[in-house]
Structure 1
Amino acid sequence: MPEGPSIVLLREAAQQFKGRTLRQVSGNSRVHLGPLVGRRVKAVRSWGKHFLLEFSQVTLRIHLLMFGSYRINEGKDAVPRVSLQFSKGELNFYACSVKLIELPLEDVYDWRADVMDDAWDAGLARRKLKTTLDMLVCDALLDQSVFSGVGNIIKNEVLFRVAVHPASRVGDLPPRLLTRLIQQAREYSFDFLRWKRANELKKHWQVHTRRTCPHCGGPVSKQYLGITHRRSFFCPNCQTLYGSGDEVAPAAMSSSRRRPRAKTRR
């Protein structure tokens, strides 16, 4: 699933369509997009994993889901979900979710939740997390109402950076560590963007899809944890488990050289 930084790159590349008039729309989307024809793009925006083309009185929202893709000024050998033909150039989306938003975007989105937006509010994220103390940190980082734009890669890499086991509970993290977790959600997202621009993202992964921990040399565990049940890659030696660790499967415990250290709040 494309994460926030990848959608920022799409937004930047699609800025060429700002001010252009949509001449034709096609594709296999069930959403009727005919009313957009003849309208001019007022703004090209994004919120987390949502790509937004703002027209007068309506916005086209594209979510690339797990396997979505796009092409600018070219197509590929597949029927697009949405094909937008402009007065100059075209924008094609595949295997995505399509929605029309008729409300003002400021009434729909809280830009303070987008980790890559200038309006990002770390204090707001902290206050939201304080209402979900029993949530696992692997789920909290994927909560788009708190960390809009954070996906599974960012989640795994941030937890490794702050040395926190993904099955730790939010309420069991020491306050300073919670602060660092929030900070790294934004900082790593911008590192992700920089590496993606340089076409070197994967070489910077520390634990995501890796087999060996770059710090201790031990095996990296892969488990499907939390209510999101997304893949969590982590080092049981280097990432501390705060709380009971009830969500950790026995296989995750036995696959490492030693059990994760469990900590409880005092």
Structure 2
Amino acid sequence: MTVPEGDTVFALARRLGTVLTGATLTRTDFRVPRWALTDLSGGRVTAVRSVGKHLFIDVERPSGTPVSIHSHLKMEGTWDVYRTGTAWRRPGHAARVVLHAGDTEAVGFDLGTLEVLDDPSTAVAHLGPDLLGDDWDPAAAVSNLAAHPDVPIGVALLDQRLLAGVGNIYRSEVCFLRRISPTTRTGDVDLPAVVDTCRTLLWANRARPVRCTTGVMVKGKELWVYGRDRRPCRRCGTAIVRSDLDSRATYTCPTCQP
């Protein structure tokens, strides 16, 4: 399973956008209590976009009023596209929303967040600069991180309020590539270099079917350290160590990341 991070959601938005953007919704089925009576049929999809790990489907109602379907995948969520009448790859009870557009249906499964917003900016106002956004601002990301010098860099990178898009896989990979321990104080880190590495990795993977940080697109060789507990470091041969940081697993090489 690919853990949803900024690149996952970016690619998902692009895939959904190819079939939904410009389409008219012929029927909508929201399967969460708060939005169960919401009907966006007749609305035209104007855009599908990502902001950090958040996905938005922007719709113009028949009245001309804009609204946005906001979702967050969390760990298990995804969106799939089907031709109407074909079997789904996940069970029906996992569907949180079904959007019909002619003979196409987009289904959101196991979404951690699903809501319909008149003002979608409220859902992401707290986020730091989006690593894959058109308005990406590396200086602001560096400044945000620098404002928390005593926080471990591995914790700071996952704080979406500081910069948006890094998840658990990328924090281990970025720290390895920068040869720093995830527990190093943010104030002791070359922050411009770390931020640049984050951007480079997410940008390179935004359209790849498989996430790769090593440059080797061979199954089992795509990542440097993540998920490789007790296996030899690809650089020096030292056994990779798994540890918990903020209740989530992180992977390091004790030799390459002193």
How far residue 134 of structure 1 moved from its aligned partner, in angstroms, is: 1.2
Match of 1:117 in 2: 133
Q: Which residue of 2 aligns with 1:233?
A: 251
TM-score computed with the length of structure 2 as normaliser: 0.83
Cα offsets for 1:63-97 (capped at 9, x unmatched)? 11111122112522412111111134110111112
Percent identical pairs in the alignment equals: 29
Q: Which residue of 2 aligns with 1:139?
A: 155
Q: How far, CA to CA, are the matches of 1:105 and 1:134 in structure 2?
A: 30
Task: Name the counterpart of 1:6.
Answer: 8
- Mapping of 1:200-219 within 5 angstroms? 200=217, 203-210=221-228, 211-219=231-239
2:28 maps to 1:25 = yes
User: Secondary structure of 1:217's match?
Assistant: coil
Q: What SS class does the counterpart of residue 146 from structure 1 fall into?
A: coil
Against the structure 1 CA distance between its residues 230 and 183, is the aligned structure 2 distance closer, same or farther, given a 3 Å change threshold?
Answer: same
Alpha-carbon deviation of 1:147? 2.2
Q: 2: distance between equivalents of 1:54 and 1:166?
A: 37
What SS class does the counterpart of residue 196 from structure 1 fall into?
coil
Amino acid at match of 1:208: Y
1:170 corresponds to: 186
Equivalent runs, 1:38-187 vs 2, <5 Å = 38-56=42-60, 57-73=66-82, 75-79=88-92, 80-96=95-111, 97-103=113-119, 105=121, 108-109=124-125, 113-173=129-189, 177-187=190-200
Corresponding residue number in structure 2 for 1:259: none
- For the pair 1:221 / 2:241, whether they are aligned, the reply is yes
Give the CA deviation at 1:220. 0.5
Residue pair 2:54, 2:70 contacting (<8 A) in 1 also: yes
Q: How many Å apart are 1:144 and its aligned residue?
A: 1.1
Aligned-residue Cα RMSD (Å) equals 2.3
Q: Is the 8 A contact 2:128 2:163 kept in 1?
A: no
Structure 1: gaps (5+ residues): 241-266
Q: Distance in 1 between matches of 2:235 and 2:5?
A: 26
Q: Is the 8 A contact 1:112 1:120 kept in 2?
A: no
The structure 1 segments of at least 4 consecutive aligned residues displaced by more than 6 Å after TM superposition are none
Q: Aligned-pair distance for 1:31?
A: 3.3
User: How far apart are the structure 1 equivalents of 2:134 and 2:172?
Assistant: 24
Task: Tell me the SS of whatever aligns to 1:84.
Answer: strand
* Counterpart for residue 63 of structure 2: none
Higher percent of residues as helix? 1
Distance across 1 between alignment mates of 2:147 and 2:90: 47
Distance 1:25 1:107 in 2: 22
Structure 2, unpaired ranges of 5+: 61-65
Where 2:209 maps in the other structure, the secondary structure is helix
Please say if residues 111 and 119 of structure 1, whose CA atoms lie closer than 8 Å, have aligned partners that are also in contact. no
193-202 or 28-37, larger mean C-alpha shift: 193-202
The 8 Å contact of residues 29 and 81 in structure 1, kept in 2 or not, is answered as yes
